[in-house]
Structure 1
Amino acid sequence: MSEPKLSHLNARGEANMVDVAEKDVTSRTARAEGFVSMQPETLDLLERGEAKKGDVLATARIAGIMAAKRTPDLIPLCHALALSKVSVDFTPNRTPPGLHVTSYVKVHGKTGVEMEALTAVSVACLTVYDMLKAVDKGMSFSGIRLLEKTGGRSGTYVAEGG
């Protein structure tokens, strides 16, 4: 079996934006997740809505949505896409203490939205940190990964445990 070809490299190994002109327009989706670990007291503060900077989850949700829309400004070879749907959701977790962050992105286009879903989760996690760092500088992120993608030539992908 031959190694898969990296589409973002040209024949000389240089960075190259993929030409999607001949690809079919299809419905494409992606889901991603991540986790923000924090002290139990920080999670309590978050759930009570008493963070000094304001509504942490509302701010992180908007930041994640905005980040998905701006992905080509952050990831150099991503195509600009007219996203149909972006959602960012949060589930508090007691053991271990923290916040499970998920995103869902949908487009009707010629290329997938995996990077947009991953960017949404990453920036939402960073925003949670920014909003709560005054009380817990030891927060950390883990498990940022693609859970699922649909559409396109490569079809459906579902991560193990996704």
Structure 2
Amino acid sequence: VMDHLASFGSDPFDKPPCRGCSSRLLEPYIKCAECGPPPLLLCLQCFTRGFEYKKHQSDHKYEIMTSDFPVLEPGWTAQEEMALLEAVMDCGFGNWSDVAYQMRTRSKEECESHYMKNFINNPLFSSTLLSLRQMEEARTADTGHFFIFI
């Protein structure tokens, strides 16, 4: 548990463990609306058992935490968007077979099409990528290093 708590925050997709049983939180899970920071998070089992801890009482107001809703387009949940981004980071851009294998819910064609449409060809993200690219080019111009951007 301490190792998991110590590493929390290094991964943008990671969540701290359940405060009650220290298990990995799976959605949906519960966030106390009255405790924190840091937020007090509970798995459904500990929540239904009425887990209490220090100042946290079982009758506190709470929020149900889930990412089972569309963000960029219908049919793709926020959870799938995060899984796609994580898979591209792990497997590398363009490695759609491995990306799809890691995601397990989408084909390689679906992964590539969705990623290209929503993250590469999307004006909202492409302007940010362009700014990052220009900053990187300016930074590396002084060092003499050459980078190729996709």
Band of TM-score, shorter chain: under 0.3
TM-score (norm 2): 0.22
TM-score (norm 1): 0.21
The structure that is helix-richer by fraction is: 2
The structure that is strand-richer by fraction is: 1
Between the two structures, name the one with larger relative contact order (CA 8 Å, sep ≥ 6): 1
